[in-house]
Amino acid sequence: MQPLPPRWLDKLATRICAPHLREELLGDLHERYALRHRRAGAPKANFFFLREVAALLRPSIMRRKPAPYGSPSVFSRDMLRNYFKIGSRVLLKNSSYSLIHLTGLSIGLWACMMVATVVIDSLSYDRQWSRKDDIYRIVTKSRMGTDISERSSSSPLGLAPELQKSYPEVESWSTLDAHEQHFKIRPGDGEGVNTNLLTADTSINKILDLKLLAGNFKHSTQSQWSLLVTRSYAAKIFPGQDPIGKIIHDIPTFSSEPTPYQITGLIEDLPYNSHLRAEAIRFRTTKPEALSNTGFMTFARNYILLKPGTDIGAFTRKVNSWYTQFMNNNGREQFEFQPLKDIYLHSDFAEGQNVKASIRTIYIFAGVALLLLFIACVNFVNLSTAKAFARVKEAGVRKVLSGSRTQLVVQLLTETLLLFGFSIVVAIIAYFFTLNSVENFLGNRLILTFTSNIVMAGGALMMFLLTALLTGLYPAWVISGFKPANTLRGIFTASLGQTGLRKTLVVAQFSISIIVLLATIVVWQQFDLMKNKELGYDKRDLIGIEQISWNGKGEAFKNELQRIPGVIRSSLSIWMPTKGGGYMQREVDDPAHAGRRLRVWYIGGDVDLPATLGLKLVKGRMFSNRFADALNADSLREKDFVKFEKAQMNQNSLITASAAKMLGIKQLDVQTKNANSVPVGVVGDFHNESLYEPMKPTLILAQKAPEYAGMLIRIQPGTEMQVAAGIRKLWKQFFPEKLLRINNVEEQLTKQYEAESKLHQLFLFFSGLTMFLSALGIFGLVVQAAEQRAKEVGIRKVLGASVAGIVGLISKDFVKLVVIAIVVASPLAWYALQKWLENYPYRTTIHWWLFAATGIAALVVTIGTVSFQAIRAATADPVRSLRNE
Amino acid sequence: MRRSDLGEFEEIVLLAVAALAPGAYSVSIAEELENETGQTVSTGAVHAALQRLEQKGYLTSYLGEATQERGGRRKRLFTVTTYGGKILHEARSVRNSLWNRIAPAELSKMGLDFSNS
């Protein structure tokens, strides 16, 4: 028996040795092994063999001999040109496929770019200030129960100066309240110029980097407002003039006379991508009141600037423990310091902050766009691997003609890159032209876009190339991996084994489409519910005049108003349906849960308010002029606050049914502690706040001709225009100086749910796209399947199969996949939507028929797409498919 | 003369090819060298030297017959070319002339006094 060296060593030696030396060298090794084995036995021979193998590790033995007819380098210029030539020919030849690819990819890339823009733009807010890491907004957290707390973006006005006094960490502070103001530039201006205004302290220039162009940051000595205007605003109101020193007047809403503002400074425009978006800044005239632990406090938005490197956690704890001691109220109010960078995206709680976005919406937005891109890429992979069938022969011939696998992969990748390149061009063009409508949809301008920022454009291009490579690599690998000997003989044993993956991808694709479709319907239902829910008062045919000071002429105006044809009833009201829950809140102990506190809202107006709103009486009586229901609140408050409070305690009030229940009020017409008044009637529940808030106990108090109030006017249906015109005319007579803001209450109410409306539109759009892309993908696959099975179909037809049978045969596979997708997607969608709905106190229910409906919709789309091609395949003449070969 | 062209090991391998002709191939050369020097000589080293010598033109080779120990693989047999012979001769004459020029007194100092034997 011939002694043999250990197998693994032998294999190793074969590996090390260059192929052209194997014959002689391995022969030598074996011969010597045999010699040694005979001389010294197996162990020694093995040991020597090991040494021999180790000694093979030298370049002259390991170096592979280059092939005599070397193929040109994969990246030589000729080859590159060839890749593009062949690639473009292939794409042109399969133009319908290329079109499907192009459409899908363009849509995916476009959506991705758009959303990336929105996300990047949202993240860019307030990043441009040089001290952005040290600026914080003081947020007040009020504890309502053991584990319930409410956050508010304003804090006591005296807090910030107090903090600066006691803590060396605080460098500076300022209030920054944003509001809108109409300015009359010249006496003759009618409507005035609507201006976004910030109210700040003079220390503002230490906190934000404001670039002063002219004037100064100081107060003018007169007792009037000083105004800093931005460059573009100044150009708008005083084109070509020096604005410094000019005086403009506001159009008053609350004061009786226009207030003069002196322009003392001109600054560079404030960045648009900041939540402090404003055209002018005015300086507060009064020093902030000192912080006190008794009585009333004014609240404002306070911003502080800390020394760099301050540990904000430790600082927060220090401030809170001091404040708890100072207020001695068991820490009912605590403060948080919200970093400037978080304010734009994390301010759901901040009422009155107009420039904000919700991080949740951004997540949803980004998620859906990524899914869209995923679907587009899946389409690409699916179609390309399905198409592999047509390319394997070509791949085989290339390989036989000494094309390397790398060359093949590069060839296929070039095709992918070409397609992606075209899609990117299409996507960029679409992006450029849709940017405007997206800005309109969002309601704000986008500062950082791919067409305006070169760095972003470069980054995006890199990302897309990377996506293209990753997407193209798999099909290229599959196609180039076939053995030429098999493909040329027509053996495709493992060649189409990728159908498993393809099926999974189709299921994933349709699952996503179905989830997005379900989301669209549920978001729409929720929006519909909020828009159309009965609020407890009649919101139709109701006109509101926004709050002003009436200069004592409110009653007279109301009397005149009554004469306008179409006006049924009107009421001076210090609560407007979309302007917060009431004019006052009191905290009372919750009778149902010991230790918890309830917030009770107070709504006020003249005695006609309940009737104007159309509230329904449940028990007791409504307000009436026959009783002393209305309090002369304004004059009483001015005279003596304590007396006013006492009078309020004994005032008659109306109470909602749920408030009566929550506060445990059973008896009417007696002074009740929890109501802080004398309830005389119970009215049906109504929503005094938006439907984002659960209904809270609410009381209505009547006041005689309140000075600071808006007006609600009940009109006859269809008379809105006519009444509005009448009001305008009347207004001119009464208040020629004042700003009139009329609005339709129902429209205002709907506007509150703009976020849902937008989300719904967004989903509607995206669900259309995902469905379309999925259908496109499945269309490509069915075309492929029909082509591949042309012979089978032909034979079946010859043997007497019916058209319906063949359509069923081809459609069956796809319908099955979509059914699986429905089964997978439904529970996922249900769970996600249930979670989303939990944010709303009033939510729509997700009915079972929703799933059935979306499932049927998906099936209809699939069958529609598939049968179109399937019927074509089934009606084709079998002679044509069977004739060749 | 180009001494650097012929390393010491190469020279020995070249000599062994000449000595073992016509049956000179890696195994026989390696075995021969092992016998002569008493040290293990790996096939790989010999093969590499043979390859180099062939490249330099001192050797030619042809494929010989296959045997069973070789697992049916053929062996590559080497013969010295005329040019190789000339190089060998040159190397030898350099050595001889140097040897001859060593003075007898020096030889005896090194303990290499051949005159007595």
In a domain, A212, yes or no: yes
Which tens digit of pLDDT belongs to each residue from B55-81?
888 999 998 888 888 888 888 999 999
B26 vs A contacts (CB less than 8 Å)? 24-25, 28
Q: How many A×B Cβ pairs under 8 Å?
A: 72
In a domain, A227, yes or no: yes
Give the tokens for residue A85. 């030539």
User: Which residue from A111, A124, A123 is spatially nearest to A428, judged by alpha carbons?
Assistant: A111
Predicted local distance difference test score (pLDDT) of residue B117? 45
| C-beta neighbour count of A12 within 10 angstroms | 15
- In CATH terms, is domain B3-109 a member of 1.10.10.10? yes
In a domain, A730, yes or no: no
> Inter-chain contact B48–A61, Cβ cutoff 8 Å?
yes
> Helix (H, G, I), strand (E, B), or coil: what is residue A581?
coil
* Whether residues A497 and A605 fall in one domain: no
The complex's ipTM works out to 0.89
Listed in sequence order, the residues at least 6 apart from A312 whose beta carbon sits closer than 8 Å to its beta carbon are A136, A306, A337, A339
A773 vs A780: CA distance, rounded Å: 11
* Whether residues A188 and A312 fall in one domain: yes
> Helix (H, G, I), strand (E, B), or coil: what is residue A248?
strand
Give the tokens for residue A516. 């997005």
B43 vs A contacts (CB less than 8 Å)? 25, 28-29, 32, 52, 55
B110 vs B103: CA distance, rounded Å: 11
Contact A418, A521 (CB under 8 A): no
* Whether residues A146 and A287 fall in one domain: yes
In a domain, A743, yes or no: no
Give the residue carrying structure tokens 């107006």: A605
* Whether residues A598 and A508 fall in one domain: no
> Inter-chain contact B43–A32, Cβ cutoff 8 Å?
yes
Angstrom CA distances, B117 to A241, B95, B113, stand at 126, 22, 8
Q: How far is B85 from chain A (nearest CA, A)?
A: 24
* Whether residues A584 and A687 fall in one domain: yes
A831 residue type, one letter:
Y
Predicted local distance difference test score (pLDDT) of residue A60? 85
Predicted local distance difference test score (pLDDT) of residue A873? 83
A27 vs B contacts (CB less than 8 Å)? 66, 70-71, 73-75
A878 residue type, one letter:
P
> Inter-chain contact B27–A32, Cβ cutoff 8 Å?
yes
> Inter-chain contact A34–B69, Cβ cutoff 8 Å?
yes
Give the pLDDT band of residue B4 (cuts 50, 70, 90): low
> Inter-chain contact A55–B51, Cβ cutoff 8 Å?
no
* Whether residues A242 and A158 fall in one domain: yes
In a domain, A175, yes or no: yes
| DSSP character at residue A677 | B
Domain count, chain A: 4
> Inter-chain contact A48–B40, Cβ cutoff 8 Å?
yes
Parallel/antiparallel/unpaired status of strands A652-656 and A678-683? parallel
B67 vs A contacts (CB less than 8 Å)? 31
A60 vs B contacts (CB less than 8 Å)? 48, 51-52
Predicted TM-score (pTM) of the model is: 0.72
Q: Which residues of A touch B (CB under 8 A)?
A: 2, 21, 23-32, 34-35, 48, 51-52, 55-58, 60-61
Q: Which residues of B touch A (CB under 8 A)?
A: 25-27, 30-31, 40, 42-45, 47-48, 51-52, 63, 66-71, 73-76
Predicted local distance difference test score (pLDDT) of residue A401? 83
Give the pLDDT band of residue B40 (cuts 50, 70, 90): confident
| DSSP character at residue A403 | -
* Whether residues A267 and A191 fall in one domain: yes
Predicted local distance difference test score (pLDDT) of residue A292? 75
* Whether residues A181 and A289 fall in one domain: yes
| C-beta neighbour count of B53 within 10 angstroms | 26
* Whether residues A374 and A515 fall in one domain: yes
Give the pLDDT band of residue B114 (cuts 50, 70, 90): low
SS3 content of chain A, % helix, strand, coil (to 5): 50, 15, 35
User: Would you list the domain boundaries of chain B?
Assistant: 3-109
> Inter-chain contact B73–A52, Cβ cutoff 8 Å?
no
Contact A597, A144 (CB under 8 A): yes
Listed in sequence order, the residues at least 6 apart from A267 whose beta carbon sits closer than 8 Å to its beta carbon are A210, A211, A212, A213, A228, A229, A230, A231, A281
Structural domain that includes position A650: 542-716
User: Which residue from A189, A242, A860, A58 is spatially nearest to A514, judged by alpha carbons?
Assistant: A860
> Inter-chain contact A24–B40, Cβ cutoff 8 Å?
no
> Helix (H, G, I), strand (E, B), or coil: what is residue A297?
coil
Contact A832, A868 (CB under 8 A): no
B-chain residue closest to A13, CA distance: B44
Sign of torsion over alpha carbons A615, A720, A531, A708: negative
Predicted local distance difference test score (pLDDT) of residue A300? 85
Give which of A24, A36, A49 to mutate to test B binding, by max B Cβ within 10 Å: A24
In a domain, A99, yes or no: no
DSSP codes joined into one string, A181-207? EEEESSTT-SS-EEEEEEEE-TTHHHH
In a domain, A689, yes or no: yes
* Whether residues A455 and A403 fall in one domain: yes
Give the residue carrying structure tokens 């260059």: A18
Predicted local distance difference test score (pLDDT) of residue A146? 63
A55 vs B contacts (CB less than 8 Å)? 42-45
* Whether residues A428 and A302 fall in one domain: no
* Whether residues A400 and A486 fall in one domain: yes
Give the pLDDT means over successive 10-residue stretches in chain A (885 positions): 83 88 88 89 89 88 76 76 89 86 88 87 88 90 73 85 88 88 78 85 86 82 80 88 85 78 89 88 78 74 89 90 82 86 85 81 83 83 75 81 83 89 92 90 83 85 86 82 72 56 85 89 90 87 87 88 90 85 80 80 88 88 83 79 81 88 84 84 88 86 86 91 90 84 88 84 86 84 79 88 87 89 92 89 88 90 85 84 72
Predicted local distance difference test score (pLDDT) of residue B49? 92
